[in-house]
Structure 1
Amino acid sequence: MRAWLEVDLDTVRRNLEIVRRSVGTGVEVIAVVKADAYGMGIKEISRVLDGGNVAMFAVISLDEARKVREASSKPVLIMGYLEPKEIVSAIEEGYVLSLFDNELAAIYERLAARLERTARVHLKVDTGLNRLGVSSGEAVDLLVNQRHYPHIRIEAIFSHLIKSTNRPSNERQLQKIRELLLTIQSRCELLPVHLVNSGALADFSDGYFDAVRIGLAFSGVDETILPGLEPCLRAKSVIVQVRTIDKGEGVSYDHLFIAAREMKVAVVAIGYAEGYSQALSGKAEVVVQGQRVKVLGKICMNFIVIDVTGLDVRRGEEVVLVGSQTGPNGQKAEVHVSELAKWCGLRHHEVVTRLGTSLPRDYYGGR
């Protein structure tokens, strides 16, 4: 047995309910399930969120959109770049495309006309991220001159926040959107807008508009997003060997850790190949028998070594890498994703996505 990820689908559903209560009535929830739903499993998570009546799903690729379609009949927005043959398939299959420059508008129009279909799109406006998106002026031109694109139907406008937890930055982007909407209002019909993501939920209700795009909040791994969110996942592995090392002996590659005394150590089946970053070396802790213990030395491709001095552990015993565990005497300990993120200098998104896309998953609840 190697490492695995446990996902509690009932917790995902409860987290969605908390998000819904936070945004209130009149604001739709667009479920972002890209990167295999942040490593939690795109089909399973989409099925649960569909049951919670999200308005729409958002993904990056055509392949992801098709996986969502297997779990839900709700509209799916493909936010990423597609090759022409993929655009044809996306239009034929009824997905919503992201329109982020004028050249792409011409491509959508040409391919949709050839199919005698209408390409449904959301217009991506760049408000400062300088990644994808048309300028405000280009957005106005596209909307005012839609007659030049009879096979394109622009259904909404959206943008991405630069740093969702930075309110002054958010306010500057919000002002750009408001100025754009004022210009549009004077020349053509207004469209729905979505801007806010998980990180801005708690402190930026001014930017909710018609819908919010939510991904990480469903996992509950970032407790700062909204009060009441709970982690839906645990990463686990097992001990594969227990051994004693003498004072002065080193552990793992390069002997970055040297024992200051005789120690009992255990080898655990997880490593950077399974998404447990080598940047955690010398910093991370895990939970065994309801107690936090240290990871010793350099993290290997498929193994780590932990300090189990004073614990009666055996081969096959469960080790919690992320999440909580209750020990034999009722003691409980936990390692949060936020701690792993801090230890290895990554964002929550990257920690869970690395683990989730590398490990097999077991699901609970939500059936």
Structure 2
Amino acid sequence: MSAPAEAVVDLDAYRANLARLREVAPTAAQMAVVKADAYGHGAVEIAAAAREAGAEWLGVATLEEARDLRRAGDRGPVLAWLNPADADLAPAVDADVDVAAGSVEQLDAVIASGSAARPRVHLKVDTGMARGGVRGAELTALLEAAATAQRAGRIEIAGIFSHFACADEPASPVNGAQEHAFADAVAELASFGAQAPLRHLANSAAALTRPSTHLDMVRVGIASYGLSPGPAVGTSAELGLTPVMTLRTALALVRRVPAGTGVSYGHTYVTRRETTLGLIPVGYGDGLLRAASNRASALVNGVLVPVAGRVCMDQVVLDLGDTPARRGDEVVLFGPGHRGEPLAEDWAEAASTIGYEVLTRLGGRIARRHAGAIPTITGSGG
């Protein structure tokens, strides 16, 4: 490999994950969430694979992410749900991108966007996350304003949605409370004489564990990339999912050192016996988690070996022990686990974080390569 490290993205595994998620939510439309460059997997390629796999919708956070998909040739349904105060909505609306409104103020901005097209709007309800959307009197005002604007031909209400706070904890009573709050919001919208063709509430965790929330559409993000939404939901293998990304590099330096050798900054790792150290040319400047220092591991020649000392900006030392190794040998930092390599969740656990962060932080000098059947960028949705 020419780059210091390579993230190999298995598009066949991604398509298989979408098929598995379709099995658990067969009656709902499927939105493949490709925000944040498809969780670091490459939004254009992943979006094309999602369309090829039958995903009816794509979901992104920002308007620019949606416009990138349009520039790449996608013409299927796309929802962008984050609209900053200074956002220019017109280009996205003109490109047939659905947008979200989580308050009367946001709805007014959509209406005033100056688009030549009639905006298709998804109304955001705060059912208990206290992040996006509104509740109570503010929600009543939003729903009434949206119904009025639709009757006047100024918008089209395309959907109503919310987001779970605790779906990765299936036993949490918060889930039921949010589900009921969402049903109340849908009923309240109807009381103003309007219907939302798409009701969507379920994320990956709810799609896998709470069928009553599938409604008209499920939004699948982390599970589509083969990672579990959380320990209480089950492991990837238990859920029938395959991690899509493999992060690999190669040993840049191999050397034998005596017992008592301090390794990396601060000498937080000291060799207990004579051992072989291996250096890899990737670090926190490329997105590896510094918090995983002395706790994460990697696969070298079929053997799991520990990270020795602090993760540096662009280098990490591994304690290879007596494992035969030489410069240029492959190092797998994480992958699907088929060869015994760590999972992204293992790195997340080592750093006391979540798999989402492990995937989305990767960048810098890491090259991305897509493997499996490479889809043609297409303009049609599922």
Structure 2 counterpart of 1:161:
164
User: Do residues 298 (structure 1) and 315 (structure 2) align?
Assistant: no
**C-alpha displacement of 1:356:** 5.5
Once residues 20 and 207 of structure 1 are traced to their aligned partners in structure 2, the CA distance between those partners, rounded to angstroms, is 14
**C-alpha displacement of 1:128:** 1.3
Q: What pairs up with 1:67-106 in 2 under 5 angstroms? A: 67-69=68-70, 70-82=72-84, 84=86, 86-106=88-108
Once residues 249 and 316 of structure 2 are traced to their aligned partners in structure 1, the CA distance between those partners, rounded to angstroms, is 10
* CA separation of 1:205 and 1:85: change in aligned 2, threshold 3 A: closer
User: Do residues 224 (structure 1) and 235 (structure 2) align?
Assistant: yes
Once residues 105 and 282 of structure 2 are traced to their aligned partners in structure 1, the CA distance between those partners, rounded to angstroms, is 46
Once residues 357 and 86 of structure 1 are traced to their aligned partners in structure 2, the CA distance between those partners, rounded to angstroms, is 29
Once residues 147 and 272 of structure 1 are traced to their aligned partners in structure 2, the CA distance between those partners, rounded to angstroms, is 49
Aligned residues: 359
**C-alpha displacement of 1:12:** 0.6
- Normalising by the residue count of structure 2, what TM-score does the alignment of the two structures yield? 0.89
Query: What is the one-letter code of the residue matched to 1:160?
Result: H
Once residues 250 and 93 of structure 2 are traced to their aligned partners in structure 1, the CA distance between those partners, rounded to angstroms, is 47
* CA separation of 1:357 and 1:297: change in aligned 2, threshold 3 A: closer
* CA separation of 1:116 and 1:248: change in aligned 2, threshold 3 A: closer
Query: What is the one-letter code of the residue matched to 1:78?
Result: A
Does the 8 Å contact 1:44/1:71 carry over to 2?
no
* CA separation of 1:267 and 1:51: change in aligned 2, threshold 3 A: same
Structure 2 counterpart of 1:150:
153
Q: Give ranges in structure 2 of 5+ residues lacking alignment.
A: 229-233, 375-382
Structure 2 counterpart of 1:131:
131
**C-alpha displacement of 1:142:** 2.5
Query: What is the one-letter code of the residue matched to 1:344?
Result: A
Structure 1 counterpart of 2:231:
none
Decide which of 256, 263, 269 is 2:268's aligned counterpart: 256
Moved more, 285-294 or 54-63: 54-63
* CA separation of 1:152 and 1:324: change in aligned 2, threshold 3 A: closer
Give 3-state SS (helix, strand or coil) of 1:189's partner.
coil
- Normalising by the residue count of structure 1, what TM-score does the alignment of the two structures yield? 0.92
Once residues 363 and 128 of structure 2 are traced to their aligned partners in structure 1, the CA distance between those partners, rounded to angstroms, is 31
Query: What is the one-letter code of the residue matched to 2:345?
Result: S
Does the 8 Å contact 1:117/1:151 carry over to 2?
no
* CA separation of 1:170 and 1:357: change in aligned 2, threshold 3 A: farther
Once residues 158 and 336 of structure 2 are traced to their aligned partners in structure 1, the CA distance between those partners, rounded to angstroms, is 44
User: Do residues 338 (structure 1) and 349 (structure 2) align?
Assistant: no
Does the 8 Å contact 1:60/1:80 carry over to 2?
yes
Give 3-state SS (helix, strand or coil) of 2:184's partner.
helix
Structure 2 counterpart of 1:349:
356
Structure 1 counterpart of 2:250:
238
Give 3-state SS (helix, strand or coil) of 1:296's partner.
coil
Structure 1 counterpart of 2:8:
6
**C-alpha displacement of 1:82:** 4.1
Identity of aligned residues (%): 31
User: Do residues 361 (structure 1) and 362 (structure 2) align?
Assistant: no
Query: What is the one-letter code of the residue matched to 1:184?
Result: L
* CA separation of 1:313 and 1:150: change in aligned 2, threshold 3 A: same
Once residues 39 and 146 of structure 2 are traced to their aligned partners in structure 1, the CA distance between those partners, rounded to angstroms, is 33
Once residues 36 and 208 of structure 1 are traced to their aligned partners in structure 2, the CA distance between those partners, rounded to angstroms, is 25
**C-alpha displacement of 1:284:** 0.6
Does the 8 Å contact 2:17/2:242 carry over to 1?
yes
Query: What is the one-letter code of the residue matched to 2:360?
Result: T
Once residues 38 and 83 of structure 2 are traced to their aligned partners in structure 1, the CA distance between those partners, rounded to angstroms, is 18
Query: What is the one-letter code of the residue matched to 1:131?
Result: R
Once residues 319 and 81 of structure 2 are traced to their aligned partners in structure 1, the CA distance between those partners, rounded to angstroms, is 45
